[in-house]
């Protein structure tokens, strides 16, 4: 969803402190298991809970990078590589993400953040595979200018990755419930599987930037689609989240007349996609893919591979939105 990449809206102070306090949260965090904590809440920290409850290996991995300068660099790199130009740069954050995930999953107050990170872990793996596929320069020759893998290369990589990944546990429950919602919004029902890519069908998933729910809707987008954020956040209601997401996909398809472009706009922003199409006199996703943020370059072929694997339907063969 546009704007939902990790740290995209974080202040400098929050970026610097986000990783380090994961190993330092106070025991009070466990006092209210049903409560959702903001990043500012999490930054109020102490050492007792980490020593008593966290997996030692995960704790050690985070402590190794607990120097504020190191933490700031890790977070800056993560932001730059998801939002930056080059897909292969994402692979360099793999170990940091692997260390962070089990910490998030162990604390009740932060499991919603783990729900956001877990479906993105394979981005690091695929980025690593794509880096291997790019041939090194020949001996005695200068390295060629940096380039991104082609959209076709990324589609092949995601076909392999998704082909060996079972559906998330929540899919069996959610997919039958959500397909009628998508049909009612005149969007191909196969696109319910966007939730696998966004949240692994975890309706409580929450990104550090504020996106929430099965389809990771940002607050402003959710409100523009008719959802209320208070007194209860309607993004946490699976069917309402899905209805809003399907309606948004419908409007994006109406603008771009192509599902790859609509999905790129869903993830990277319709202004960015529209601007690239215009500035490059392009008409297809493949023509602009290499110039989109790294996450968006991978997001679209991942959705495509998921739909093909789970439904046996090619994205290009899906009907138009109504």
Q: Which residues pair with 217 in a beta bridge?
A: 212
Instruction: Show the tokens assigned to 74.
Output: 């890790």
Q: Are 253 and 259 in contact (CB under 8 A)?
A: yes
Q: Say how far apart CA 184 and CA 283 lie, in whole Å.
A: 29
Q: Does 198 qualify as catalytic in the annotation? A: yes
User: What's the Cα-to-Cα distance from 150 to each of 130, 133, 134, 161, 254, rounded to whole Å?
Assistant: 10, 11, 10, 17, 26
User: What's the Cα-to-Cα distance from 38 to each of 92, 135, 176, 210, rounded to whole Å?
Assistant: 27, 43, 32, 9
Instruction: Show the tokens assigned to 54.
Output: 């966290």
One of 196, 198, 234, 304 is an active-site residue; which one?
198
Question: Alpha-carbon dihedral of residues 234, 235, 236, 241, nearest 10 degrees?
Answer: 110
Nearest CA to 110 among 68, 62, 168? 62
Q: Which residues pair with 212 in a beta bridge?
A: 206, 217
For helices 121-133 and 294-311, give the axis angle rounded to 10 degrees: 100
Q: Are 206 and 212 in contact (CB under 8 A)?
A: yes
The DSSP secondary-structure symbol of 258 reads: S
Q: Which residue has the tokens 């008593």?
A: 52
Q: Say how far apart CA 178 and CA 193 lie, in whole Å.
A: 9
Q: Say how far apart CA 249 and CA 125 lie, in whole Å.
A: 28
Q: Which residues are designated catalytic?
A: 198
């Amino acid at each position: 969803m546009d704007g939902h990449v990790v740290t995209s809206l974080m202040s400098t102070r929050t970026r610097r402190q986000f990783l380090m306090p994961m190993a330092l949260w106070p025991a009070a965090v466990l006092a209210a298991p049903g409560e959702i904590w903001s990043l500012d809440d999490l930054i109020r920290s102490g050492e007792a809970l980490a020593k008593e409850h966290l997996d030692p290996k995960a704790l050690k991995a985070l402590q190794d990078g607990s120097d504020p300068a190191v933490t700031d660099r890790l977070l800056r790199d993560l932001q730059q590589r998801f939002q930056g130009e080059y897909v292969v740069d994402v692979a360099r954050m793999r170990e940091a993400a692997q260390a962070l995930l089990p910490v998030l999953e162990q604390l009740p107050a932060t499991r919603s953040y783990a729900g956001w990170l877990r479906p993105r872990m394979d981005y690091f793996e695929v980025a690593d595979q794509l880096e291997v596929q790019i041939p090194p320069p020949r001996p005695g020759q200068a390295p060629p200018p940096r380039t991104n893998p082609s959209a076709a290369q990324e589609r092949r990589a995601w076909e392999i990755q998704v082909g060996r990944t079972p559906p998330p546990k929540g899919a069996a429950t959610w997919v039958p419930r959500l397909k009628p919602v998508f049909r009612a919004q005149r969007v191909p029902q196969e696109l319910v599987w966007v939730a696998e890519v966004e949240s692994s069908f975890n309706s409580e998933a929450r990104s550090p930037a504020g996106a929430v729910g099965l389809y990771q809707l940002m607050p402003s987008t959710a409100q523009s689609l008719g959802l209320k954020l208070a007194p209860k956040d309607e993004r946490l209601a699976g069917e309402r989240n899905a209805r809003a997401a399907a309606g948004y996909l419908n409007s994006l398809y109406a603008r771009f007349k192509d599902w790859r472009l609509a999905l790129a706009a869903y993830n990277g922003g319709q202004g960015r996609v529209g601007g690239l199409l215009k500035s490059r006199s392009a008409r297809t996703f493949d023509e602009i893919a290499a110039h989109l943020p790294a996450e968006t370059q991978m997001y679209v072929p991942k959705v495509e591979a998921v739909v093909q694997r789970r439904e046996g339907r090619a994205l290009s063969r899906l009907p138009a939105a109504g």
